[in-house]
Structure 1
Amino acid sequence: MWSLQNLLFILCISLRCVTSAVGVLNVTGYLRREVNISCPYDPGYESYEKYLCKDSCGRGDVLITTTNPVTYKYRTHDDKTARIFTTTISDLRSMDAGKYWCGVKKFLKDIYTEVKLKLVKDSCCGTVTKILNYQGYSVSISCPYEPQYQNSLKYICRGNRPSICLQQALITSDNKENGRFRLDDDKMLKKFTVNITSLSQEDSGSYLCGVQRNFHLDVFSAVLLEVEEFCCVKSTKINGTVGHPLTLQCPYPSQHRDNRKFLCKGDQHNSCMDMTNQSRFTVHDNVSSSSFWVIIAELEAADAGTYWCGSDSQWKVGNYTKMELSVLQQTLGTLEANNPALYVVYIITPVLLLMCALFIVYKYRCSTVKGDEATGRNARNKL
C-alpha cells in the first residue's frame, strides 16, 4: 500500500502544490561518469532546506539534502547568491536514469521542479572521418557544426571519450595556437579547422571535434588520423668517386616546370640542408624532358649520404626523389680506368724492368763465356 506521504504528494500535485518556474529540466549524463543537476529557486527561499528525490519522492526516495550535503554517491551545494542548488551524482549506472525532483522544503507544501535524467555511453560517434597523411607533413582536420553554434566554444581532443574531451583539449577557439596546433573558425562556412604541423606516427589515433553547449551535452564529430612513415615513390642508389664530377638526374611533373627545383641533403626530408647554393653544386633544368640535373664538381668523401630532389615545396608523394649516394676513394683500378696514359705507364714500366734484367743476365753470360774461351787459349799456348 502507498504511504500517507505518497498520497499527500499525489494530492498536492492535483492541487497544484508542485510548482516550478522553469518547467521540466532535461539532463543528460555519461555512464560511469558523473552529472550535475542544477535546480534554480525563487528569491526568499535562500535559507530553506533543499533536497533531491526520485520517482514518487516518498520518504525513502530522498537522495540528498542541503542539511546533509554529502553521501557515498551524491553531493549537493546551495549557491544562495545565484539561488541555484546543484546535486552531483557520481558513478552513473543505467538504473540512475529516470525522473527526479528538486525540492524546496516548506510547511505543508514543498516546491518541486521535475528533472528527467537520460544516460548515454561515454563514446562517440556513429560516423568516423578517416584521414591518411605522412610523417613530416601538415594535416587539416575539418569540423562542421550547426548554425546555432556559431558563437559557441570549439575544441579538439585526442581519444574517444566525450566526458573528458574539453578538460583534455589540445586547443580551443579561445586559444587558437598551441605549439603544432592551430584552430581557425569559419563562421560563414559553419566549420572550424584544426591544423597540425610536423606530423609524426605518434599523432595517429582518434580525435573528437567538440562544440560546447551550455545546458546540454557538447556536440561531437569523430576523426581517425593515420600517419604513415614517410616514403618515396622513387628511390635510387648512386656511386661516385672522390675527385671526379657526378651528375644527379631528378624528374618532376610537367606542371611543375615553373616551380623552384631543389636538392637537399639529410636523413629526413623535413630537416635536410639545401645544397643548391653550394659552389660545387650546379642546377640545370631541362623543361623538354621534365627533369633537372644537379652537377657536383670534384666529389668529396663527405658528400656521401641521403639526398632529396624535387619541385614541390609541399612534399606531396610522387613529386620528389630520394637518392643514396656512396662516394668511393680513388684506387689504382679507378685511376687506370679513368686515365689510359697511366695504364700505359703502369704496363710498360714492368716490361722495361724485365728487359733490363734479361740484358744484364745476357751480358753476364757473355762475359763468362769469353772468360772461359780466354782461359782455354792460355792453356793451349803453354802446351
Structure 2
Amino acid sequence: MEESAIPSVLIVQLCTSLLIALQDHSVCIILSNLTFQSAKAKMWSLQNLLFILCIALRCVTSAVGVIHVTGYVGGEVNVSCSYNEGYESYEKYLCKNGCGSDDVLITTSNSVKNKYRIHDDKTARIFTTTISDLQSVDAGKYWCGVSKNWNDIYTEVDLKLVSDSCCDTVTKVQSYEGYSESVSCRYESQYQNSLKYICRGNQPSTCLQDALITSDTKLNGRFRLDDDKVLGTFTVNINSLTQNDSGSYLCGVQRNSELDVFSAIELEVEEWCCVKSTKINGTAGHPLTLQCPYPPQHWDNRKFLCKGDHRNNCSDMVASQSRFTLQDDAASSSFIVRITKLEAADGGTYWCGSDSQWRFGNYTKIELSVCLHCTSNVSLGTTAETQRTQIPDSALCVVHVAPSVLLLMSVLVICCL
C-alpha cells in the first residue's frame, strides 16, 4: 500500500521538533539506525524524511537559547559561550552564515586572526571571542562551535551594533571658577549594587576605563562619589572648579550582560569676572579702614579679609596679622577692617567676604596701593638752568659813582705827602 504524502504543516512541525530534539546526541544515532523502506517505494516514508533532514542539518546540536550581544561601532565586543563538562580538550571556534570551512572566523588552534581573538577558559568551561574595530557590517548572526567528529555543537549568537555616542537628553549644569559643584545621576532600582562611575566626553565604549571616579574608589582628588541606594541616585561632587572642567560628562551604571546605562551632563564653568571691585590708596605709616558689604542673610556667617592675587590662594589677614582688626556691623550688612599702621608690603589684592564657598557676588575685590611719601600734584623740574641775579637801579648808581670817589681819594693822599 502506498504511503500518503506528508502535509507541509506536519513537515514544519516535525522539523521544529527535530531541531529541539537535536540537543540529545542520541537523536542522530537513532535516526541513522532507522530502516529504509524499499528502494522501489515511490513515496518517501516518514523515517526516510527524518533521516534525510538529519543529514541535511549535519546532525547539528543547537542550544535552545540565543546569546544576545550588543556592541558599539568602532569599539570591540566579547562573545562568551559555555560548554558542557568533557569538552575541555575539544577545539572551539566562531563562525558565520552556514559555518562552512570558509565561514569560520577564528579557532582556538589559531587564537589570533585579523580582528578576532579567542580564549578558552577550561576551568570555567567558557570560551570567549573578542571582535575589535566593529563596523556596521559585523552585525548579525554568529555561531559558537565546539568541534566533534561529525556533529559539532553550536550556540547561536545575535550581535547588534549601536552608535558610540550618548544621549538624547542632556542635563546642563552651570557653575563658576573656584566653586564646588554636585552632579546627580539617577538609576533604576535593579542596579542598586552595580558599579557607578563618571567620565569625561561622550563615548560610552571607553567611559569605564577612562572613569574619573567609581563607586569602588569613592574619592579621587577633587572628585567624590556618594551613592544613595534608597533614592536611586549617585552624586559626584567636584571641588575647586576651573574653566578646564567645562565640557561633556557621562554618568555610567555597569551591567554585566548588557551595555552599561548612561546619562549625559554638560558642565559650563564660567570665569568669576563680575565680582564687585574697588581701588584704595593709603600712606605708609598711617591707619587705613576697609569696608566690605555682605548679603543680609550672611549676618551670622564668619567674615574675613584675605590677601592674594587669586581668591583660591589667599591668606587670612585678620587671623595672621595683629595690625588688622575686624568689626562687624550687622545693621548695615557690612564689616570693616582697620589697619593700624600701613606698610609698603600691605599693597596688593584683597578679598573680603562672608561665604567660605566663594558664592558668586558675595565678595568684594580690593586693590590697595601704598605710597611711602605722598606729595602734592606739583611737578618738580629736574633740568638745571643758569641763575641770573637781577640788580636794582639804586645799586647801579653806586657802581657808576665809584670811580670819581676813588680819584678824589687819590688826590688827597698826594697832597698830604
Aligned ranges for residues 231-380 of structure 1 at < 5 Å?
A: 231-277=273-319, 278-333=321-376
The aligned residue for residue 203 of structure 1 is: 245
Q: Is the 8 A contact 2:143 2:154 kept in 1?
A: yes
Q: Is the 8 A contact 1:183 1:192 kept in 2?
A: yes
**Secondary structure at 1:302's aligned position in 2?**
helix
- Residue 190 of structure 1, CA deviation: 0.9
- Residue 15 of structure 1, CA deviation: 6.0
Matched pairs, number: 351
The aligned residue for residue 166 of structure 1 is: 208
Larger radius of gyration: 2
The aligned residue for residue 68 of structure 1 is: 110
Match of 1:16 among 5, 16, 22: 22
> Deviations 1:294-346 (Å, cap 9, x if unpaired)?
12222211111111111111110111111111112323439x9xxxxxxxxxx
Aligned ranges for residues 134-173 of structure 1 at < 5 Å?
A: 134-173=176-215
Matched, 1:183 2:189: no
The aligned residue for residue 28 of structure 1 is: 70
Q: Is the 8 A contact 1:73 1:91 kept in 2?
A: yes
**Secondary structure at 1:116's aligned position in 2?**
strand
From the superposition, tell whether residues 12 and 112 of structure 1 become closer, same or farther in structure 2 (CA, over 3 Å): farther
Distance 2:117 2:324 in 1: 74
> Deviations 1:189-218 (Å, cap 9, x if unpaired)?
111111121222222222111111111111
- Residue 73 of structure 1, CA deviation: 2.2
The aligned residue for residue 350 of structure 1 is: none
Matched, 1:95 2:137: yes
The aligned residue for residue 342 of structure 1 is: none
Q: Is the 8 A contact 1:131 1:224 kept in 2?
A: yes
Q: Is the 8 A contact 1:157 1:168 kept in 2?
A: yes
Q: Is the 8 A contact 2:91 2:147 kept in 1?
A: yes
Distance 2:63 2:130 in 1: 22
Distance 2:64 2:187 in 1: 28
- Bigger mean CA offset, 52-61 vs 148-157: 52-61
The aligned residue for residue 384 of structure 2 is: none
From the superposition, tell whether residues 73 and 279 of structure 1 become closer, same or farther in structure 2 (CA, over 3 Å): closer
The aligned residue for residue 352 of structure 1 is: none
Q: Which runs of 4+ in 1 moved over 4 A?
A: 9-12, 17-22, 361-365
Distance 2:112 2:375 in 1: 91
| TM-score normalised over the length of structure 2 | 0.75
Distance 1:66 1:12 in 2: 30
**Secondary structure at 1:112's aligned position in 2?**
strand
Q: Is the 8 A contact 2:283 2:374 kept in 1?
A: no
- Bigger mean CA offset, 258-267 vs 241-250: 241-250
Counting aligned pairs with the same residue, the percent is 70
Which runs of no fewer than 5 residues in structure 1 stay unpaired? 1-8, 337-360
Distance 2:62 2:130 in 1: 21
Which runs of no fewer than 5 residues in structure 2 stay unpaired? 1-14, 24-59, 379-391, 410-414
Distance 2:394 2:376 in 1: 37
| TM-score normalised over the length of structure 1 | 0.82
Amino acid at match of 1:161: Q
Q: Is the 8 A contact 1:129 1:222 kept in 2?
A: yes
Distance 2:147 2:215 in 1: 43
Distance 2:94 2:358 in 1: 61
> Deviations 1:339-371 (Å, cap 9, x if unpaired)?
xxxxxxxxxxxxxxxxxxxxxx99999x99xx9
Q: Is the 8 A contact 2:61 2:151 kept in 1?
A: no
Q: Is the 8 A contact 2:248 2:266 kept in 1?
A: yes
Distance 1:332 1:129 in 2: 59
Distance 1:314 1:14 in 2: 67
- Residue 53 of structure 1, CA deviation: 1.4
- Residue 14 of structure 1, CA deviation: 7.3
- Residue 247 of structure 1, CA deviation: 1.7
- Residue 19 of structure 1, CA deviation: 4.4
> Deviations 1:46-76 (Å, cap 9, x if unpaired)?
1222221113333432222222322112221
- Residue 94 of structure 1, CA deviation: 0.4
Match of 1:222 among 261, 264, 280: 264
**Secondary structure at 2:376's aligned position in 1?**
helix
